Structure 1
């Protein structure tokens, strides 16, 4: 097996610098980190993490709980997690929970039994069973996007969903829309409440009614978008603009609107959330909110590793910026 000395020769640094880069990359400069990582790749070097884990009492593994691996937005977050974890010398175990509490409990228990050092949760549920809740109190855990439902406040990496939804509402109001609807995701989540509150606040300011009958959905899927349109088109007043709480819902909505013989955006404008890659290539391309998903994943690892190392956190919540991406799925209200 290629040894650390070969890596140091290729990178032009000392073996101590190579070791420091692999174990604590935040302690070396970005230029040095890049040189060492390139040399590691070129040399085919595989650090003996098992030996170091025996000495440190750590597994050098983190568990990431994902409610649905099919969702492309989650895959962008995982990309950031994987890269940051690799740089810090950690392996990543993905748990595709499919919303199953039993699956969550099983994966989360790995941290309790020292098979993993910490956990990143991409859903809003507390992942430990009731029997393990007390033991889990001080374990390293970070949530991304959602806030974990728990008495203890765990660190969270999130977006300002309230402000982002207000931006979407102002965007549609600027096109003269007055008849709105929303197709939402899981109604038990903080994201649902914040995004809906953002929309309501703008419409209330403009004295535009927004009733419960104009809100439908309950899952972040294409199928939910299709079913949502069937409901909304049955209303006495057809909406001219629809907020979709993620891009998958919006893709389903656009499909169903066109299948009903209507046009997007000439008859109904549709906006989404997440800016997944395919949203720029559907017909018409989707107006949406871009979330820095990759950066969210990287920051989650930074915070989790700080917890694992017992380092104090500067703050327990980080709010990352969003960007409104205007494309052709939104336009002037029909006259």
Structure 2
């Protein structure tokens, strides 16, 4: 005869709710009680039906992870942090690539609602009014990672992008550079675009250096935009001596272009990137960068989401520390 959850509860001397909490790895159960229930499950060879259990307790133990592009060097470490915490608490991950397209994001949200996901982790893209409304309409807990909405209506895990960009540009100034170009993201991007541009400008202003809008080149954080914008820089009559790129991938694109055209890094141009992806370390010369704590972002985001699902009190916005990693793509300029 097949054992039931009632048999397990009776054997362990606990209530049905306690067995359910143990099966779903709820932290409120003591280790002693948990051991009694697990021993009873083992002895009775109880095999709970996942679908039946999810209907009973109204949870699927599944989390939707909406990501712009898993092939990008920035996102895998975030996803790894999410997965490690999810595995610890016996949650499954549904990974959805959205390609930064609103229609794909909308379809992903509809699918996650149909699949009865317990929560959603939304990574990187800008949160506009329409997306906010769609988030609110599905009535599923959501945590934003590496992005936040302008009014802090949603829970988030980020870094201080403006301060990080300030530190990057200020480092170049400390090395003696006064003509510094910026390879920026999208001009209207309130997430990584505007704050990083503002940080760059703030560093110039605080060091009494004129902000030249013609030294800001907009792109999409990818290699091609870094490469193509470097071609524009090389045509300038008065070329900058240093370049701050809003992503490592753009920085590598710019450096590759410069070297193909016969320039040397860092002798002709000092270059600093942003993100701290693996490529920045193994590129030659190794790239100075602002390192985002991507694994921690994923782990903290997942932990925050699980607390929300459990009904715990959680701080709305979490800002993690970044690091300025100094490597050989930047050098002191003595003149």
Q: When the two structures are superposed, what TM-score results if normalisation uses the length of structure 1? A: 0.83
C-alpha distance after superposition, 1:42-90 (max 9, x if no partner):
xxxx985434312211121111111111111111100101111111221
Would the aligned equivalents of 1:25 and 1:88 in 2 still touch at CA under 8 Å?
A: no
Equivalences for residues 69-218 of structure 1 within 5 A: 69-122=70-123, 123-125=125-127, 132=134, 135-136=137-138, 138-148=139-149, 153-187=153-187, 188-218=189-219
Matched, 1:61 2:66: no
Would the aligned equivalents of 1:109 and 1:128 in 2 still touch at CA under 8 Å?
A: no
> Which SS does the other structure have where 2:208 is aligned?
coil
C-alpha distance after superposition, 1:151-191 (max 9, x if no partner):
67101100111221121122111110000111112332322
Structure 2 Cα separation of the partners of residues 52 and 18 of structure 1: 8
Structure 1 Cα separation of the partners of residues 275 and 128 of structure 2: 24
Structure 2 Cα separation of the partners of residues 200 and 25 of structure 1: 47
Q: Cα–Cα, structure 1 residues 209 and 129, in superposed 2: closer, same or farther, change >3 Å?
A: closer
Would the aligned equivalents of 1:64 and 1:119 in 2 still touch at CA under 8 Å?
A: yes
Would the aligned equivalents of 1:79 and 1:294 in 2 still touch at CA under 8 Å?
A: yes
Structure 1 Cα separation of the partners of residues 64 and 190 of structure 2: 22
Structure 2 Cα separation of the partners of residues 80 and 108 of structure 1: 22
C-alpha distance after superposition, 1:131-150 (max 9, x if no partner):
846523x530011111136x
Would the aligned equivalents of 1:49 and 1:60 in 2 still touch at CA under 8 Å?
A: no
Structure 2 Cα separation of the partners of residues 18 and 133 of structure 1: 29
Q: Cα–Cα, structure 1 residues 311 and 266, in superposed 2: closer, same or farther, change >3 Å?
A: same
Per-residue deviation, 1:210: 2.1
Partner of 2:324: 324
C-alpha distance after superposition, 1:234-286 (max 9, x if no partner):
22210111011111111111101101111100110000011111211111000
Matched, 1:267 2:287: no
Would the aligned equivalents of 1:22 and 1:87 in 2 still touch at CA under 8 Å?
A: no
Q: How many residues were matched structurally?
A: 306
Structure 1 Cα separation of the partners of residues 28 and 80 of structure 2: 19
Would the aligned equivalents of 2:221 and 2:246 in 1 still touch at CA under 8 Å?
A: yes
C-alpha distance after superposition, 1:192-213 (max 9, x if no partner):
1111111111110111112221
Q: When the two structures are superposed, what TM-score results if normalisation uses the length of structure 2? A: 0.83
Per-residue deviation, 1:322: 0.9
Per-residue deviation, 1:27: 6.4
Would the aligned equivalents of 2:186 and 2:219 in 1 still touch at CA under 8 Å?
A: yes
- For structure 1, list consecutive stretches of 5 or more residues without a partner in the other structure: 4-15, 37-45
Q: Which has the larger radius of gyration?
A: 2
Would the aligned equivalents of 2:186 and 2:220 in 1 still touch at CA under 8 Å?
A: yes
Structure 2 Cα separation of the partners of residues 153 and 231 of structure 1: 40
